[in-house]
Amino acid sequence: MMESSQLNDAQLKYFQTLVAEETGMRLAAGKRNLVVSRLSKRLRELELDNFSAYISLVSSAAGLVEKQTVIDLLTTNETYFFREQPHFDFLKKLAIQRENKGGPLRVWSAACSSGQEAFSIAMVLHDCLGTRPWEIVGSDISLNIVNKAKAGVYPLAEKEKIPPEYLKSYCLRGTGKQEGKLQVCKELRDRVSFRHESLLDVRARQPAYDIIFLRNVLIYFDAIKKQELVRQVITSLRSGGYLLVGHSESLSGDNPDLRTLAPSIYQKK
């Protein structure tokens, strides 16, 4: 790995500005090591000696595709199955309440990264509602990571986060070339759709969603952008619907259209 000192302040500023302009996300100065670790492999693949050469490539007329690669590498966040379990307990209660009501239960997994959140939601809904109508949409700004989510293939070690009954019912263990991996079953993959899009570019969707998971992404935005993002996202949330954010995030006072039900759980008025 390259030493972080090989990424000088001006070069770090370049990547911070690029990410902010393309996504609205704030890449803090303390993320220097993250930038180095995620981009240094790409420099080796391109046989470039330093970040100056890489920035020249990204900035060139021929660098549009590479610019997307930078965004993909710097905005992909850690995720895993059933992260923050209380949200899935809440989802299960809603699904059980919805069991005998008409119309599909619609859920949006926003900034879904590689899809573990969306498939965790799918496992809960299939367990509670079976073939009754329900729909899940996952979205992320990284095209590469969206394609990974669509495949539903993950390292076998991720099985440790999945409840045993769900692992048995909804996951397949890889063999041969897929040894050491697991795949979410086709039945669930067919029920979840994934989209490549920026949250800041999303327009209100109809019919509106009943639940939106917007977790562990707001921390990457400054206060003004965070308010703008939440206002934009909840235009796709029905009145009485629920917005779930990360347990380390708070919307206190940020939006008058939301009321707090529990820490990190909000309801649209």
pLDDT, the chain, mean = 91
pLDDT at residue number 63: 79
Q: Do residues 138 and 212 both lie within one domain?
A: yes
Instruction: Please indicate, yes or no, if residue 124 is contained in any of the structural domains.
Output: yes
Instruction: Please indicate, yes or no, if residue 80 is contained in any of the structural domains.
Output: no
Q: Which comes out higher in pLDDT, residue 160 or 252?
A: 160
Please check the confidence at residue 193 and state whether its pLDDT lies above 50.
Answer: yes
Instruction: Please indicate, yes or no, if residue 187 is contained in any of the structural domains.
Output: yes
Q: Do residues 106 and 186 both lie within one domain?
A: yes
Q: Do residues 171 and 145 both lie within one domain?
A: yes
pLDDT average, residue stretch 74-86: 90
d(CA 97, CA 15): 46
62 band by pLDDT with thresholds 50, 70 and 90: confident
Q: Which comes out higher in pLDDT, residue 57 or 103?
A: 57
- Omega before 207 within 30 of 0, i.e. cis: yes
pTM for this structure?
A: 0.87
Q: Do residues 51 and 150 both lie within one domain?
A: no
Q: Do residues 19 and 149 both lie within one domain?
A: no
- Long-range contact list for 170-178, CB < 8 A, 24+ apart? 170/119, 170/122, 170/123, 170/126, 178/153
Instruction: Please indicate, yes or no, if residue 43 is contained in any of the structural domains.
Output: yes
Q: Do residues 112 and 195 both lie within one domain?
A: yes
Q: Which of 30, 57, 75 is the last residue of a domain?
A: 75
Q: Do residues 65 and 111 both lie within one domain?
A: no
4 band by pLDDT with thresholds 50, 70 and 90: very low
Count: domains in the chain: 2
Could you tell me if 184 and 171 are in contact, meaning their C-beta atoms sit under 8 angstroms apart? yes
Please check the confidence at residue 254 and state whether its pLDDT lies above 70.
Answer: no
Residues 6+ apart with CB under 8 A from 233: 110, 199, 202, 212, 214, 243
CATH number at residue 42: 1.10.155.10
Instruction: Please indicate, yes or no, if residue 259 is contained in any of the structural domains.
Output: yes
Could you tell me if 212 and 267 are in contact, meaning their C-beta atoms sit under 8 angstroms apart? no
d(CA 103, CA 261): 24
Q: Residue 41: which domain range?
A: 4-75
In angstroms, what CA-CA distances link 134 with 102, 123, 124, 193, 235? 10, 12, 11, 12, 20
Q: Do residues 254 and 139 both lie within one domain?
A: yes
Please check the confidence at residue 186 and state whether its pLDDT lies above 90.
Answer: yes
Q: Do residues 125 and 246 both lie within one domain?
A: yes
Q: Do residues 130 and 243 both lie within one domain?
A: yes
Instruction: Please indicate, yes or no, if residue 166 is contained in any of the structural domains.
Output: yes
Residues 6+ apart with CB under 8 A from 166: 123, 127
Residues 6+ apart with CB under 8 A from 47: none
Which residues form the catalytic set? 38, 140
pLDDT average, residue stretch 109-119: 96
Q: Do residues 18 and 111 both lie within one domain?
A: no
Please check the confidence at residue 152 and state whether its pLDDT lies above 80.
Answer: yes
| Residue range 194-236, pLDDT digits in tens | 999 988 887 788 889 999 999 999 988 888 888 889 999 999 9
Question: What's the distance, CA 43 to chain centroid?
Answer: 26
Alpha helices in 76-163 (DSSP H): 85-98, 116-129, 143-151
Q: Do residues 110 and 177 both lie within one domain?
A: yes
Instruction: Please indicate, yes or no, if residue 51 is contained in any of the structural domains.
Output: yes
| 36 token code pair | 């180095």
Q: Which of 75, 100, 117 is the last residue of a domain?
A: 75
CATH number at residue 110: 3.40.50.150
